[in-house]
C-alpha cells in the first residue's frame, strides 16, 4: 500500500508476471517494493538456493536490495532497480533517514509508551547475538498497539539496524517475540487461548504460527523528487490469522 499519492512517479517497464509478481507492493523507474514472505532469505543462503534477490534479478538483472530482513521475518523490502537508486537508498540508511516500522506479537502483557531501549549488541560465532557493552550501539523504540489476555501486539521502530536487534531488545524488556525460541519466546497454541478446546484423537497440536511473530509493516524514505514516500506491507496470512485469533479470545 502506497500512502502518499502526491508523489509523482515516472513511467516504467512493468515487471513480467511470474512468481515475484505476487510480492510486489509498488514499482516505478527506480524502486520495487516487495512484501517478502517468511521462509525465504533476502540474500544468498548456503542452505537454500532461492532468495529474494535471485527472484527479482530474473526480471530485473541490475537489482540490488537496499536492506535485508531475517529469513523468517515477513514484510516490506526495498529493491533498487539501478545503481544510482541503490546509492540513493543506501545513503539514507547510512544516515538513519529511513523510518522502518515492525509489528510483533510478544509474550505477556506490556503497556509500553514510546519506550527506548539502548543496549549494545554483540554478534556471536553461532549467528546469534547478545547484549554486551563491547558490542555495537543499538536503539529500538517500542509502543503497545493492542493487549490481549496473555500477549501484546507491539510496534517496533529500530533506529539502528543491528542483527536480531528487535528480537533481543524485546527480550530485554521481558517481552520476547512469540515463537522466537532463540531469545526466549514461546509458541502460541489455540488450546492456551480457547477454553474447552479439544484436539482430535491421536493428533498433535501445532502452534497458531509456525515462526516468530515479526512483520516489517512499513518503510518511509525520500524519493528522487525529494518527497517522502511510505509503503505498507499488509499482514501475511499467518500473522493476520494469529492477531485475529488473539482479538477473538479477548472480546
What are the tens digits of pLDDT across the range 35-79?
999 999 998 776 677 889 999 998 899 999 999 999 999 999 999
Closest by Cα among 34, 23, 49, 38 to 210 = 38
- Rounded Cα distance between 180 and 172, Å, is 13
The answer to whether residue 70 is catalytic is: yes
Please state the domain count of the chain: 1
pLDDT tens by residue, 69-106: 999 999 999 999 999 999 999 999 999 999 999 999 99
Residue entry with cell 548456503: 46
Query: Can you tell me the distance from the alpha carbon of 85 to that of 68, in angstroms, rounded to the nearest whole number?
Result: 16
In whole angstroms, give the CA distance from residue 200 to residue 227: 55
Please tell me the least confidently modeled range out of 13-22, 23-32, 91-100: 13-22
Classify residue 168: in a domain, yes or no: yes
Range of the domain at 132: 19-195+210-250
The confidence band for 18, taking pLDDT boundaries of 50, 70 and 90, is very low
Residue 205 maps to a domain? no
Classified as helix, coil or strand, 17 is: coil
Question: Average per-residue pLDDT in the chain?
Answer: 89
The residues facing 102 across adjacent strands are: 156, 216
The reply to whether 14 falls in a domain is no
How many other C-beta atoms are found inside a 10 Å radius of the C-beta of residue 22?
Answer: 10
pLDDT(112) > 80 = yes
Q: Is the pLDDT of residue 123 over 70?
A: yes
CA dihedral 59, 87, 94, 8 (to 10 degrees): -80
Q: Which grid coordinates are listed for 86? A: 541503490
Q: What is the mean pLDDT of residues 5-16?
A: 36
What is the CB-side half-sphere exposure of residue 163 using CA atoms within 13 A? 14
Q: Residue 7 domain-assigned?
A: no
pLDDT at 8 over 80: no
Could you tell me the sign of the dihedral formed by the alpha carbons of 230, 234, 236, 238, in that order? positive
CATH code for position 33: 3.30.2350.10
Give residue 225's pLDDT. Answer: 84
Residue 12 domain flag: no
| Residue 29 pLDDT exceeds 80 | yes
Q: Is 33 a member of any domain?
A: yes
- Asked whether residue 2 is domain-assigned, the answer is no
The secondary structure of residue 23, as a DSSP letter, is G
Confidence of residue 199 (pLDDT cuts 50, 70, 90): confident
What pLDDT score does 251 carry?
63
* Its pTM surpasses 0.85: yes
Does residue 62 belong to any structural domain of this protein?
Answer: yes
The residue annotated as part of the active site, out of 28, 30, 70, 180, is 70
Average pLDDT over residues 19-29: 89
Amino acid at each position: 500500500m502506497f500512502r502518499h499519492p502526491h508523489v509523482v512517479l515516472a513511467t516504467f517497464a512493468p515487471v513480467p508476471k511470474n512468481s515475484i509478481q505476487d510480492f510486489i507492493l509498488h514499482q516505478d523507474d527506480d524502486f520495487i517494493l516487495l512484501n517478502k514472505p517468511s521462509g525465504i532469505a533476502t540474500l544468498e543462503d548456503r542452505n537454500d538456493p532461492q532468495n529474494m534477490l535471485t527472484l527479482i534479478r530474473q526480471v530485473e538483472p541490475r537489482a540490488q536490495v537496499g536492506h535485508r530482513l531475517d529469513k523468517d521475518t515477513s514484510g516490506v523490502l526495498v529493491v533498487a532497480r539501478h545503481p544510482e537508486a541503490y546509492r540513493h537508498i543506501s545513503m539514507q540508511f547510512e544516515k538513519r533517514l529511513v523510518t522502518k516500522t515492525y509489528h510483533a506479537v510478544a509474550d505477556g502483557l506490556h503497556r509500553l509508551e514510546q519506550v527506548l531501549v539502548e543496549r549494545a549488541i554483540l554478534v556471536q560465532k553461532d549467528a546469534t547475538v547478545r547484549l554486551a557493552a563491547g558490542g555495537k550501539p543499538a536503539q529500538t523504540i517500542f509502543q503497545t498497539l493492542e493487549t490481549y489476555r496473555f500477549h501484546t501486539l507491539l510496534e517496533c521502530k529500530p533506529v539502528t539496524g543491528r542483527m536480531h536487534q528487535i528480537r533481543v531488545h524485546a527480550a530485554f524488556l521481558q517481552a520476547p517475540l512469540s515463537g522466537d525460541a532463540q531469545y526466549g519466546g514461546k509458541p502460541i497454541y489455540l488450546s492456551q487461548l480457547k477454553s474447552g478446546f479439544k484436539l482430535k484423537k491421536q493428533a498433535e497440536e501445532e502452534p497458531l504460527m509456525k515462526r516468530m511473530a515479526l512483520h516489517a509493516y512499513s518503510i518511509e524514505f525520500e524519493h528522487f523528487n525529494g518527497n517522502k514516500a511510505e509503503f505498507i506491507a499488509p499482514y501475511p496470512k499467518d500473522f493476520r490469522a494469529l492477531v485475529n485469533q488473539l482479538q477473538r479470545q479477548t472480546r
